[in-house]
Amino acid sequence: MFGFQNITANNGWAMAVVGASIVFLGLVVLSFVISQVHKILKLWEQRDELLNRHKKQAQIEEAKPIKAPVPIQRHLPSVADLTSIYRPLVEQLNQPFDLLQLFEISNKMDLPHPHLSLKYLQQAGVLVPQGDGTFTWDNQKAN
């Protein structure tokens, strides 16, 4: 078999199209690279300037001090302040009262640190435990 029959039988037309496409694609890429050579050469000529500019920016960024937020020291109020805050709440409750009730009321009123405040009042002797899980308010120590 010779000629066009041989080319058709062995996929010669497809190989010719693929070969021509590869050559054409290569020429397109080559023409694009050649059209951009001036930009590449310009970057190459200005490489020192670009590197210095990058170093200066890095130095400027390093020189800026980092401003960290200053933590606010929040301390618990004194016993006198706590008693003035919690006295109206305790007056709403029947004596002796459950500490959980006082905690829930202080939580609803969004008072700061109810756990710590109630513990501090217990240590100061203002909240007196009755032994059965209830507490009373000592007015003498609260003043």
Say how many residues make up the chain.
143
What type of residue sits at position 26? G
Residue 93 lies in a domain: yes
> Domain check: are 54 and 16 in the same one?
yes
What's the total number of domains in the chain?
2
Q: Is 3 helix (H, G, I), strand (E, B) or coil?
A: coil
Residue 132 lies in a domain: yes
Query: What is the per-residue pLDDT across 76-130, written as a single tens digit (0 to 9) for each?
Result: 778 888 888 888 888 888 888 888 888 888 888 888 788 888 888 888 888 888 8
Backbone φ and ψ for 116, nearest 5 degrees, come out as -65, -40
Amino acid 64: pLDDT: 59
Residue 44 belongs to domain spanning: 4-63
Residues 38-59: b if buried by 16+ CB within 10 A, e if exposed: eeeeeeeeeeeeeeeeeeeeee
Residue 74 lies in a domain: no
> Domain check: are 58 and 83 in the same one?
no
Query: What is the per-residue pLDDT across 45-65, written as a single tens digit (0 to 9) for each?
Result: 988 888 888 787 776 665 556
> Domain check: are 136 and 112 in the same one?
yes
> Domain check: are 55 and 28 in the same one?
yes
